[in-house]
Amino acid sequence: MTLLELSGVGFAANDHAILQDVNLTVEADDYLTITGPSGGGKSTLLKLIATMISPTAGTIRYEGKDLETYDPIMYRREVSYCFQQPTLFGTDVLENLSFPALIRGKEFDRNRAMELMDYVKLQPDMLNHPVNELSGGERQRVALIRNLMYLPKLLLLDEISTGLDSENKAIVWSLIDRLKADSGVTLISVTHDEREIADAKNLARVENGHLEVVR
Amino acid sequence: MNLAVTNLSLTLVMGLVLIALWIGWHEQLGVDKDIIIGVIRAVIQLTVVGYVLKYVFRIDNLLLTLVLMLIIVFNAADNARKRSKGFEGAFWISFIAILTSTFVVLSVLVLSGSIKMTPSQIVPISGMVASNSMVAIGLCYRNMYAMFRDQRQQVLERLALGADIKNASRGILRETIRTGMSPTIDSSKTVGLVSLPGMMSGLIIAGVDPVKAIKYQIMVTFMLLATTSLASFIACYLAYKKYYNSRMQLIDLNGK
């Protein structure tokens, strides 16, 4: 089943074309890796799919429906975007992990939080840890599981392992592998990581605003 | 009545302006022109207002009083708008916030019997309420802009997690409303200890017993707390939406 379809998608800002005529189809359960040089438009492409910005040309269809007709709030709860260099908000880890429940008007699921923290090797007492005392790797891990408190259908990862040491990278990727194996989340990952690119089954390259499917 | 400001004494006191001009010149602050324009405007505006008020008080007509109040609110809203960094609808948001706070506060004062429904009491109080609302809203606009610029990434993270724009802006809203209210809260703590504020000073200079004068100042303190909180609350809740487009995307502040 086609989950996401981009046809003739373009994005321009201040008369400068950042993406042009992007055509891409993502099937449910796919794991698409996108690579390309910095400034080529990869992050912009993910932001378009995440509805953080809207295309200036072409259409994006999600589950067969034009993205512009979706309620952005409901859509973003299904299609979760994990930022490159994410920011944690509030005072502690708990405030971050309980935010997805808060905005849905639901009770914070402590067990789910503990389970996810365990997956990414964060101690349970970290829940009340002030965010400004976390290391870069810990922040990235908290941000990632914040996106997974409610399982999305499509997870967009924007260079999430950039800047992480090998230990943190391994932790993050083991979570992604587990997610892929257990829950069938569709993934689109933007990366510069050579191993990830080499392992990718579906690979696309974005350069100078154009997307080319490699395999 | 023991007021003794004559035209002659006022002219002599104008010498005080020279102090401000000298400091501006000595420190090369580049404010000389502004001081001179400010002084000329103050003299002309207040003279005109003095005659207008004299006329309005003498006529004692409800409709005329309401028109004067609307002019005050209009001017206050236009001034608050200038702090908005040009977001769409800033004038009307300011107008609604100032009009509502003025209406609510005046209604309570009149209904409680604190002031009478006469122009000589309604008009000056409207001016106090509107100008304090205006300052509070101006502070709110400036703070809100700075926070949406500085905390852009945090807002984006919340939106990406599926928050509505209210939840994405909650911290900014809270901090901004507090900013609008804080000068009034601070001054209510020091009132009488640091300053003898305008209304109380005016009454005392006019010869009213200080014990009676403080009652008015207490009323003003209550009134201003309500005014600034209500104006900040209304303006912030209407203004934050202007930082998003119809697709609930945070607008780009670059170039604003």
DSSP string, B189-239: HHBTTTB--HHHHHHHHTT--HHHHHHHHHHHHHHHHHHHHHHHHHHHHHH
Q: Per the CB < 8 Å rule, is A52 touching B171?
A: no
Confidence of residue A143 (pLDDT cuts 50, 70, 90): very high
Distance CA B159, CA A51 (A): 10
Domain match, B72 and B156 both: yes
Distance CA B189, CA B202 (A): 20
Domain match, B38 and B142 both: no
Q: Per the CB < 8 Å rule, is B161 touching A68?
A: no
Q: Per the CB < 8 Å rule, is A72 touching B249?
A: yes
Q: What is the pLDDT of residues A57-70, one digit of tens each?
A: 999 999 999 999 99
Distance CA A52, CA A46 (A): 9
Adjacent-strand bridge partners of A66: A61
Residue B112 lies in a domain: yes
For residue A214, is pLDDT > 70? yes
- pLDDT for residue B102: 96
- pLDDT for residue B8: 87
Domain match, B103 and B146 both: yes
Residue B86 lies in a domain: yes
Structure tokens at A83: 């930022």
Confidence of residue B2 (pLDDT cuts 50, 70, 90): low
For residue A35, is pLDDT > 90? yes
Question: Is residue A49 a contact partner of residue A211, using CB atoms and an 8 Å limit?
Answer: no
First vs last C-alpha separation in chain B? 53
Question: Residue A172: which of A75, A92, A77, A86 has the closest Cα?
Answer: A86
Residue of chain B whose alpha carbon sits nearest to that of A70: B247
* Alpha-carbon separation of residue A172 from A6, A80, A138, A144 (angstroms): 28, 16, 10, 8
Domain match, B46 and B160 both: no
Domain match, B104 and B215 both: yes
Domain match, B221 and B141 both: yes
Nearest-CB residue to A83 (from B157, B171, B252): B157
Which residues, in sequence order, are CB contacts of A56 under 8 Å at separation 6+?
A: A10, A11, A12
Structure tokens at B154: 């945090």
Helices (H), A69-192: 72-78, 93-103, 110-119, 136-146, 166-183
Task: State the pairing for strand pair A2-13/A57-62.
Answer: antiparallel
- pLDDT for residue B222: 93
Q: Per the CB < 8 Å rule, is A89 touching B171?
A: yes
Question: Is residue B51 a contact partner of residue B64, using CB atoms and an 8 Å limit?
Answer: no
- Check: complex ipTM more than 0.90: yes
Domain match, B54 and B82 both: no
Stretch A155-177: mean pLDDT: 90
Using the Cβ of A101 and the Cβ atoms of chain B, whether some distance falls under 8 Å is answered with no
Question: What is the 8-class DSSP label of residue B115?
Answer: S
Residue B253 lies in a domain: no
Residue B197 lies in a domain: yes
Question: Residue A121: which of A97, A96, A99, A138 has the closest Cα?
Answer: A138
Domains, chain A, in order of start with CATH, read: 2-213 (3.40.50.300)
- pLDDT for residue B12: 87
Average model confidence (pLDDT) across chain B: 91
Domain match, B54 and B66 both: no
Residue B4 lies in a domain: yes
- pLDDT for residue B213: 87
B42: containing domain: 1-59
Instruction: Pick left, alpha or beta for residue A14 (phi over 0 → left; psi -120 to 50 → alpha; otherwise beta).
Output: left
Residue B251 lies in a domain: no
Domain match, B149 and B226 both: yes
* Alpha-carbon separation of residue B35 from A155, B30, B45, B46, B239 (angstroms): 59, 10, 15, 16, 32
Chain B residues with CB within 8 Å of chain A CB: 153-154, 156-164, 167, 171, 247-250, 252
Stretch B164-180: mean pLDDT: 96
Confidence of residue B61 (pLDDT cuts 50, 70, 90): very high
Instruction: Pick left, alpha or beta for residue A200 (phi over 0 → left; psi -120 to 50 → alpha; otherwise beta).
Output: beta
CB atoms closer than 10 angstroms to residue A32: 21
Chain B hits for A143, CB-CB cut-off 8 Å, are: 157
Question: Residue A46: which of A58, A57, A32 has the closest Cα?
Answer: A32
Report which secondary-structure segment, H or E, holds A12.
strand A2-13
Q: How many Å is the Cα radius of gyration of chain B? A: 21
Distance CA A106, CA A167 (A): 34
Domain match, B87 and B192 both: yes
Helices (H), A32-135: 42-49, 72-78, 93-103, 110-119
Distance CA B187, CA B183 (A): 6
Indicate the burial class of B209 (C-beta count within 10 angstroms; 0-12, 13-18, 19 or more).
exposed
How many domains does the structure of chain B reveal?
2
First vs last C-alpha separation in chain A? 19
Domain match, B118 and B183 both: yes
Structure tokens at A62: 């999600």
Adjacent-strand bridge partners of A187: A31, A155
- DSSP state letters, B41-75: HHHHHHHHHHHHHHHHHHH--HHHHHHHHHHHHHH
Residue B199 lies in a domain: yes
Nearest-CB residue to B160 (from A74, A76, A104): A76
Distance CA B57, CA A157 (A): 69
Domain match, B138 and B176 both: yes
Question: Is residue A121 a contact partner of residue A153, using CB atoms and an 8 Å limit?
Answer: no
Residue B255 lies in a domain: no
Report angle CA B29, B30, B34 to the nearest 5 degrees. 115
Chain B hits for A50, CB-CB cut-off 8 Å, are: 160
Out of B59, B81, B103, a domain closes at B59
Q: Tokens 């002084």 correspond to what residue?
A: B39
The lowest-confidence range among B29-33, B107-111, B177-181, B228-232 is: B29-33
Out of B13, B35, B59, a domain closes at B59
Out of B40, B59, B78, a domain closes at B59
Chain A hits for B159, CB-CB cut-off 8 Å, are: 52, 76
The lowest-confidence range among A77-81, A157-161, B236-240 is: A157-161
Q: What is the pLDDT of residues A85-128, one digit of tens each?
A: 889 998 999 999 999 999 999 999 999 999 999 999 999 999 99
